Amino acid sequence: MTLSNKEFNVSEVINAKKEMFTSLSDKIWEHPELHFKEKYAVSLMEEALSAEGFQVQKNVANLETAIMGSFGNGPTVIAFLGEYDALPFLSQEGGQTEFCPVEEGGNGHGCGHNLLGVGAFAAAVAAKAYVEKTNAPFTIRFYGCPAEENGSGKAHMTTHGVFDDVDLAISWHPNYMNSTMNMRTLANYSAVFKFTGKSAHASAAPHLGRSALDAVELMNVGVNYLREHIIQEARVHYAVLHTGGTSPNVVQPYAEVMYLIRAPKKQQVMEIHKRIQKIAQGAALMTETTVKEAFEGTASDLIPNQTLAEVMQMQFEKAAPLHFDEQELAFAAKIYETLDPEVKSGADMALSPDQKKALGDHRLSNLIMPLAPEAMLYGSTDVGDVSWVTPTVQCFATSLVWGTPLHTWQVVSVGKTSIGHKGMLYAAEIMSRTAIHCMENPEVIDQAKQELKTRLNGEQYKSLIPEN
């Protein structure tokens, strides 16, 4: 039995369970957990997967907060990728139009992963319903993936071969527009440099001290000079994690700095990393301290798939558009006023004159952006690792106020409102429609696989995670 997207009502399946999905998303929002600590979120996902008839595997890739739900025994596997980690220092009350943290210095879902994970789960539930209805020879999987923000859970999972038998992977991300993500991303590598020196009285015996904080500062100066001599597309960021104390009359015996390196290709990342290692060693030599490096996380560059992007774009054009009511639009207008003028201007630049006219003064977009030529997104995601081993496609869906940058309190505020919920369920529909189209037209999956093979041109996936 074969049904078409038109005959199988995807939105009906999702809407029938929308209260469950929104409740699940809100519960994760209310308990924001950082990378590899998402124990509450993964427990909720385990319960939800079991309740929906998925076979559940815990501790995937030996990660305590990674989970997989599977339904069906067909030879072709379609996977939906979910996330649920939060960010530090982004605590914020939901549904508020000004900054007001729930807990000072607390965590918050500033990238909307409470919506992302549950949206992917909702898509998996709808795709499962299609397989049940048609007995289609497919296996549907949902992967709950930890630590996208810091630690790159999917890189660990890919290294462990978790996605090796997957034929197609689908995901999404909250945004302020509706579009297919036909984009490459930057590979990255993150490490902490730990300097150890010797404490001493900074006034009575400064000659006996060896300052680890001096080493960190010298390293930062050295890397600042390096920035002029790396490729233009590369990025190097840093954060001082430990300064060695708060007393200026003690020579600081210990200090830490974390570096995050990005570049279009993994090899470029590692070349820059080697140069930064030399700078760290030089800083240690200058201060007569020692330095040790600790791996933090890594992500591969994302390999887009034009074949799947065209299929996903088609689903946007077939689905009923988002609708926001007057109350939601009024709330969005107030959030919009809190955004930086440069941010607003940057968002508007993505629109054509006709699109600007259609958007008008509404601050929530139901426009469907046309499929853009492949371009570079100057960020990173561990979805990139998955894209090296199986054809992968993603979309954006309006679940934020127009122009809102990620990793901000405004994202957290909207993440527990009907605006976020509507975008989440809309994304679920687009993703599940994409999967169903591929199930109805299996030659598309073959074409997507061939495209990935051609793009890689014989290059094999190799994680940047150190062997130890």
pLDDT of residue 381: 96
Q: Do domains 10-184+302-456 and 187-299 have the same CATH topology?
A: no
Percentage of the residues of the chain whose pLDDT score is greater than 90 = 97
Q: Where are the domains of the chain?
A: 10-184+302-456, 187-299
Distance, in Å, from the CA atom of 148 to the CA atom of 158, rounded to the nearest integer, reads 13
Write out the two tokens for 144: 């709950």
Q: What is the mean pLDDT of residues 104-115?
A: 97
pLDDT of residue 416: 98
- What are the tens digits of pLDDT across the range 62-80? 999 999 999 999 999 999 9
pLDDT of residue 319: 96
Q: Position of tokens 């969005």?
A: 332
DSSP run (H or E) holding 329: helix 326-337
The mean pLDDT of the chain is 96
10-184+302-456: CATH homologous superfamily?
Zn peptidases (3.40.630.10)
Domain 187-299 has CATH 3.30.70.360: yes
- What are the tens digits of pLDDT across the range 214-266? 999 999 999 999 999 999 999 999 999 999 999 999 999 999 999 999 999 99
pLDDT of residue 347: 94
> How does strand 138-145 pair with strand 76-83?
parallel
Q: What is the mean pLDDT of residues 437-442?
A: 98
Distance, in Å, from the CA atom of 331 to the CA atom of 267, rounded to the nearest integer, reads 46
Q: Is the pLDDT of residue 58 over 60?
A: yes
On whether the CB atoms of residues 80 and 123 are closer than 8 A, the answer is yes
pLDDT of residue 5: 55
At 396, the pLDDT band (50, 70, 90 cuts) reads very high
Q: Is the pLDDT of residue 423 over 90?
A: yes
Write out the two tokens for 117: 């994970």
At 468, the pLDDT band (50, 70, 90 cuts) reads confident
Q: With a threshold of 0.75, does the pTM exceed it?
A: yes
pLDDT of residue 2: 56
From the number of C-beta atoms within 10 Å of its C-beta (0-12, 13-18, 19+), residue 408 rates as buried
- What are the tens digits of pLDDT across the range 236-246? 999 999 999 99
Q: Is the pLDDT of residue 180 over 60?
A: yes
Distance, in Å, from the CA atom of 193 to the CA atom of 339, rounded to the nearest integer, reads 35
Distance, in Å, from the CA atom of 180 to the CA atom of 280, rounded to the nearest integer, reads 41
Q: What is the mean pLDDT of residues 306-313?
A: 98
Q: What is the mean pLDDT of residues 354-364?
A: 93
Q: Is the pLDDT of residue 7 over 90?
A: no
pLDDT of residue 467: 85
pLDDT of residue 6: 61
Percentage of the residues of the chain whose pLDDT score is greater than 70 = 99
On whether the CB atoms of residues 384 and 79 are closer than 8 A, the answer is no
